[in-house]
Chains A and B, each alone.
Chain A
């Protein structure tokens, strides 16, 4: 297998895109861990719901902007056509934004409740997004299709 060479001016947008994607996934892992644990630990449920909300609002959403902005930036460098891996990327990014917003609103409502709430919904949404993003990483790295 020969090493692939890409133009040097793609490095910064690619770095922004990949770093943003990694931070999105890292934030979702924290949200999933906090909400799954929040279902089992009544004493910590309120604190963990607030942690999930803050992580979504201050971590996942800004990182999403980096990831998506980097994607558009690098997309502007060349005419890519319509390969499957780009379609998978757009589909999971757009769907992921919708699910992130829903999870943030649910976590916000839960964080305002004295004993927390909504952790099952937020945990499920985070899990769905993590699975989708693993598939997206596969599509992006293998350039599927």
Chain B
């Protein structure tokens, strides 16, 4: 049980990062609208499925594993960072997938930076587990 929870939790984290990379190519890359048309949908799917997976399976792991509690500082920090990443990723996704809407590159870059940095901070938090 623990092995499967951990595997699926980590796999979900891989999906989130794949979504971040795909968003990064759309927002920062030079491939233009071709990249947007091709990558907007998979980026959104990866970000959403991975995001829900990391949260649900992470909470499940925290409840399942003796020695971890939901109110541990590093777990609370991860949950807060998850919401920060989601707050940026949602509008970023909506702005990119609407092909008819004019693009606000500056806003896209800010939202992408927040989502990417929050995701990176979650990874550091998960590995270092400060206070655990």
Contacts and interface: CB of A to CB of B under 8 A. Distances in A.
Contact of A34 (B14, B39, B123): B39
Given A3-B132, A137-B11, A33 B21 contact: no
A22 interface: yes
Given A11-B128, A15-B123, A141-B3, A30 B25 contact: yes
Nearest to B123: A19
B31 A2 contact: no
Interface residues of A, number: 34
A41 B46 CA distance: 22
Contact of B17 (A11, A23, A142): A23
Contact of A1 (B32, B42, B64): B64
A134 B39 CA distance: 21
B83 interface: no
A51 B17 contact: no
Contact of B6 (A21, A50, A142): A142
Nearest to A47: B34
Contacts, number: 101
Contact of A2 (B65, B124, B127): B65
Which secondary structure dominates where chain A touches chain B? Answer: helix
B2 A1 contact: yes
A117 B7 CA distance: 36
B123 A51 contact: no
A122 interface: no
A80 to B, nearest CB: 19
A142 B11 contact: no
Interface footprint category on B: 35 or more
Interface string A21-65: 111011101100110010001001001101100110001000000
B14 A22 contact: yes
Contact of B18 (A1, A15, A29, A137): A29
Given A22-B14, A26-B17, A34-B39, A1 B31 contact: no
A29 B13 contact: no
A138 interface: yes
A106 interface: no
Contacts of B3: 141-142
A29 B64 contact: no
Given A23-B21, A26-B18, A3 B42 contact: no
Interface in B73-132: 120, 123-124, 127-128, 132
Given A33-B38, A141-B7, 10 more contacts: A5-B132, A23-B21, A41-B37, A44-B34, A44-B38, A48-B35, A51-B29, A141-B3, A141-B10, A142-B6
